[in-house]
């Protein structure tokens, strides 16, 4: 069993003084999986990833990476992993090509091999034309793409991506996503942290939702969304703020509504599309004016709201 | 995945990292200005302000100002690597922290060696006389040994500071006392026993008076070596502790 696992943790904890950044995480991540950590900022995603990638010592618990014990065999692990940190970590006064070459050299890749592979990867990330430009002259999006390349040049068995597309424009984001998907097809295991629900949904085979250092839910994105039912999410914006709670309480009584909650001026309801007329009648009954109405499919954000009672970005 | 990547069993990571450090320094004009500009200013100042007899006494001191600049350079280099996360990123590859550390020091030593040669040539060009009995090898060796003391102080600084800008500023609290009290701006050291006091005494004895015997310069050389060893070892230990990952 263990041989099929890329990552195994048992009761993993990391405390910074009184703060419980990671609070008893149990994980089993199979080889070849693209595994997501979804959660708000400060949930413990990056801390967990830092521990798994040997960058941060744990407080307690057991961690095995690719069959190696993280405390006793960190060097063996480092030979087999790649890390794309959340910050843009590169040498500004080296060219893009030199930055990638340096990581390959640290991993002992033969010169002829890494030179060819570097250009191949730079091409895939639309950076080949700027391969000889200093990294400090790159835009944020180009740096982000280079940051990812530096993590994969040595073709790691296990790749850690910490918010890999943070701050990217939609076009660059899809370039990075396509690259990640392509890399996974080569039988690599990928661990991804993100607070972007679309990224987690689009990329992950499996994911955990993490909050306050604990896993609050795990599963396949589709299964997690299905826990809310297969209907749509309806959002209302209302003018009469004082009456929001009363409206929500009335809507909750409807048999076709699974949950309803207040967020600022919004109420969110599930599977309510077929019952819009009834909801509208409730609004009329309490004399509330609807400012806006929106309908969308279930998202992982809705799952997070359902689990925690608050939005991911709070 | 493209075609299979082949790996060498024992890659020369030290060389690759040293080369990387040299490239980065070479591409930073401000660093060049600082590395060469600061000591050159003193050579020019001494050459034009003093008569030739006094310049002969002051030129060996001006050459030793070069290695002092390395304190700021090394501290800034490692502070920048810590600040940017580059050191953490490197630490997640199979390279050891010891190699990262030695590569930073090696790059600075190479720069220091080039700097010493340039300053020696420049001081002669501006009129400094080298005694015919002087040992040219010692004229290079003494400032080169002083580089180790500077690297040690640089590592000590880098252990405690968090940003490269503060490294540059705080380095002056070490550079100026070493320069002034050690006698690099006066005809003799203000206090004996400083690393620069030993070095400047030795340089003057060799360059200005042509003394090369162990009786004449042995104690000074031992002083330079002892300071270099102590500061470097303490610097390495502290730096390793402060940047420990696992």
- Domain layout of chain B by residue ranges: 13-242
Nearest CA in chain A to B11: A108
Q: What is the pLDDT of residues A2-23, one digit of tens each?
A: 578 999 999 999 999 989 999 9
Kindly list the strands in the beta sheet with A34-38, ordered across the sheet, starting from the edge strand earlier in the chain.
A81-84, A158-162, A189-194, A34-38, A206-211, A214-219
Strand order in the sheet with A266-270: A260-263, A266-270, A232-238, A290-297
Q: Is the pLDDT of residue A268 over 80?
A: no
CA-wise closest residue to A10 among A83, A56, A65: A65
B65-88 average pLDDT score: 89
Q: Is B1 in Cβ contact with A110 (below 8 Å)?
A: no
**A293 shares contact with chain B (CB less than 8 Å):** no
> Number of C-alpha atoms within 13 angstroms, CB side, residue B157?
30
For residue A269, the model assigns a pLDDT of: 58
Q: Which residues of B touch A184 (CB under 8 A)?
A: none
Residue B72's nearest CA partner among B148, B183, B175 is B175
Asked whether the predicted pLDDT for residue B1 surpasses 60, the reply is no
- State residue A266's pLDDT score: 56
User: What's the distance, CA A131 to chain centroid?
Assistant: 29
Quickly tell me which residue has 């995603």 as its tokens.
A45
pLDDT at site A90: 95
CA neighbor of A260 nearest in space, from A290, A228, A287: A228
* Contact present, B207 and B134 (Cβ < 8 Å): yes
Give yes or no for residue A265 having a pLDDT over 80: no
Please determine, for residue B76, whether its predicted confidence score (pLDDT) is greater than 70. Answer: yes
How much is the pTM?
0.84
Kindly report the nearest CA distance between residue A191 and chain B, in angstroms.
16
Q: Which residues of A269-308 are buried (b: 16+ CB within 10 A; e: fewer)?
A: bbbbeebeeebeebbeeeebeeeeeeeeebbbbbbbbbeb
Closest CA–CA distance from residue A220 to any residue of chain B (Å): 26
Looking at this predicted complex, what is its ipTM?
0.87
Q: Which residues have C-beta within 8 Å of that of residue A264, sequence separation ≥ 6?
A: none
A89–B92 C-beta distance less than 8 A: no
Q: Looking at residues B9-31, what average pLDDT do you find? A: 91
What does R_g of chain A's alpha carbons equal in angstroms? 23
Chain A, 127-166: which have a CB under 8 Å from a chain B CB? 134, 150, 154-155
Q: How far apart are CA A200 and CA A35, in angstroms?
A: 9
Alpha-carbon gap: A13 to the closest alpha carbon of chain B (Å): 16
Instruction: Output DSSP code: residue B127.
Output: T
**Residues of B in Cβ contact (< 8 Å) with A188:** 1
Strands A158-162 and A189-194: parallel
Question: What is the longest distance spanned by two Cα atoms in chain B?
Answer: 71
Provide, as residue numbers in chain B, all residues whose Cβ is less than 8 Å from the Cβ of A91: 20, 24, 86
Distance separating the N- and C-terminal Cα atoms of chain B: 31
Backbone angles phi, psi at B99, to 5 degrees: -65, -40
Distance from CA of A82 to the nearest CA of B (A): 8
pLDDT in tens, A34-74: 999 988 888 999 999 999 999 899 999 999 999 999 999 99
Percent of chain A clearing pLDDT 70 (strictly above): 92
**A200, A38 Cβ separation under 8 angstroms:** yes
Domains within chain A, CATH numbers bracketed: 2-221 (3.40.50.300), 229-297 (3.30.70.980)
Please name the member of B8, B16, B88 whose beta carbon is closest to the beta carbon of A110: B8
The 8-class DSSP code of residue A95 comes to B
Work out the average pLDDT over A109-119: 95
Mean pLDDT across chain A? 87
The whole-number average pLDDT for the span A290-314 is 75
Ordered DSSP codes for A133-146: SBGGGS-HHHHHHH
The two structure tokens encoding residue B238: 């502290």
Measure CB to CB from residue A89 to each of B2, B20, B86 and give the nearest one: B86
Residues contacting residue B31 through CB under 8 Å, at least 6 positions apart: B25, B73
Looking at beta carbons, which pairs linking B191-196 to residues 24 or more positions away fall under 8 Å? B193/B223, B195/B146, B195/B149, B195/B223, B195/B224, B195/B227, B195/B228, B195/B231, B196/B64, B196/B68, B196/B146
Q: How far is A54 from chain B (nearest CA, A)?
A: 7
Residues facing residue A235 across a β-bridge: A268, A294
Report pLDDT for B246: 38
How close B244 gets to chain A, by Cα (Å)?
10
Q: Which two tokens stand for residue B33?
A: 């200005």
Residues of chain A numbered 40-99 and touching chain B (CB < 8 Å): 53-57, 71, 74-75, 78-79, 81, 83, 85, 87, 89-94, 98
Whether residue A113 and residue B16 make contact (CB cut-off 8 A), yes or no, is no
Cα–Cα distance for residue pair B109/A67, rounded to 1 Å? 42
Nearest residue of B to residue A150, measured between CA atoms? B89
Q: Is A115 at the interface with chain B, CB within 8 A?
A: no
Determine whether the interchain pair B27/A53 forms a contact, defined as Cβ–Cβ distance below 8 Å: no
Positive/negative CA dihedral, A182, A187, A192, A196? positive
CB proximity list for A249: less than 8 A, separation 6 or greater: none
B11 contact A CB<8A = yes
d(CA A26, CA A18): 21
Please, where are the H alpha helices in chain B? 13-26, 29-32, 38-49, 52-84, 86-91, 97-125, 136-160, 164-181, 195-207, 214-242
């Amino acid at each position: 069993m263990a041989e099929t696992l890329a990552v195994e943790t048992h009761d993993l904890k990391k405390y910074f003084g009184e703060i419980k950044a990671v609070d008893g995480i149990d994980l089993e991540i199979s080889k070849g999986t693209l595994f997501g950590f979804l959660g708000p900022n400060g949930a413990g995603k990056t801390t967990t990833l830092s521990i798994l990638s040997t960058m941060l010592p744990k407080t307690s618990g057991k961690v095995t990476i690719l069959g190696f014990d993280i405390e006793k065999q960190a060097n063996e692990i480092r030979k087999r992993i790649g890390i794309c940190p959340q910050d843009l970590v590169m040498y500004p006064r080296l060219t893009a090509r030199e930055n990638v070459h340096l990581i390959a050299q640290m991993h002992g890749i033969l010169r002829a091999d890494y030179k060819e592979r570097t250009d191949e990867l730079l091409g895939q990330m639309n950076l080949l034309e700027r391969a000889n430009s200093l990294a400090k002259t790159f835009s944020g999006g180009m740096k982000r793409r280079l940051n990812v390349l530096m993590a994969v040049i040595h073709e790691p068995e296990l790749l850690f991506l910490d918010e890999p597309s943070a701050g990217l424009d939609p076009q660059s984001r899809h370039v990075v996503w396509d690259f990640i998907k392509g890399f996974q097809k080569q039988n690599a295991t990928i661990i991804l942290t993100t607070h972007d629900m679309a990224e987690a949904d689009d990329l992950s085979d499996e994911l955990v939702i993490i909050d306050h250092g604990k896993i609050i839910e795990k599963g396949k994105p589709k299964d997690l969304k299905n826990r809310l039912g297969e209907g749509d999410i309806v959002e209302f914006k209302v003018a009469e703020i004082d009456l929001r709670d009363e409206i929500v309480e009335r809507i909750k009584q409807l048999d076709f509504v699974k949950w309803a909650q207040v967020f600022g001026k919004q109420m969110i309801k599930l599977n309510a599309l077929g019952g819009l007329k009834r909801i509208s009648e409730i609004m009329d009954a309490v004399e509330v004016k609807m400012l806006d109405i929106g309908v969308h499919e279930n998202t992982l954000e809705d799952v997070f709201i359902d689990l925690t009672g608050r939005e991911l970005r709070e | 995945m493209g075609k299979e990547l082949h790996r060498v069993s024992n890659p020369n990571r030290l060389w690759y990292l040293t080369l990387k450090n040299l490239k980065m320094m070479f591409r930073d004009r401000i660093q060049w200005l600082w590395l060469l500009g600061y000591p050159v200013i003193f050579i020019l100042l001494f050459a034009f302000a003093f008569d030739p007899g006094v310049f002969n006494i002051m030129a060996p001191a001006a050459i030793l100002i070069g290695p002092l600049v390395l304190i700021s350079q090394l501290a800034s280099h490692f502070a920048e690597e810590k600040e940017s996360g580059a050191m953490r990123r490197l630490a997640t590859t199979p390279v050891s922290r010891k190699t990262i550390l030695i590569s930073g020091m090696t790059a600075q030593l190479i720069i220091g060696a080039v700097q010493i040669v340039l300053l020696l040539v420049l001081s002669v060009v501006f009129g400094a006389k080298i005694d015919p009995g002087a040992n040219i090898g010692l004229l290079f060796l003494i400032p080169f040994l002083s580089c180790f003391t500077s690297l040690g102080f640089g590592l000590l600084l880098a252990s405690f500071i968090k940003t490269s800008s503060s490294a540059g500023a705080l380095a002056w609290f070490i550079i100026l006392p070493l320069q002034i009290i050690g006698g690099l701006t006066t005809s003799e050291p203000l206090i004996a026993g400083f690393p620069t006091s030993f070095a400047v005494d030795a340089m003057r004895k060799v360059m200005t008076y042509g003394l090369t015997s162990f009786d004449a310069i042995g104690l000074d050389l031992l002083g330079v070596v002892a300071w270099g060893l102590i500061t470097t070892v303490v610097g390495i230990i502290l730096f390793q502790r402060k940047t420990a990952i696992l």
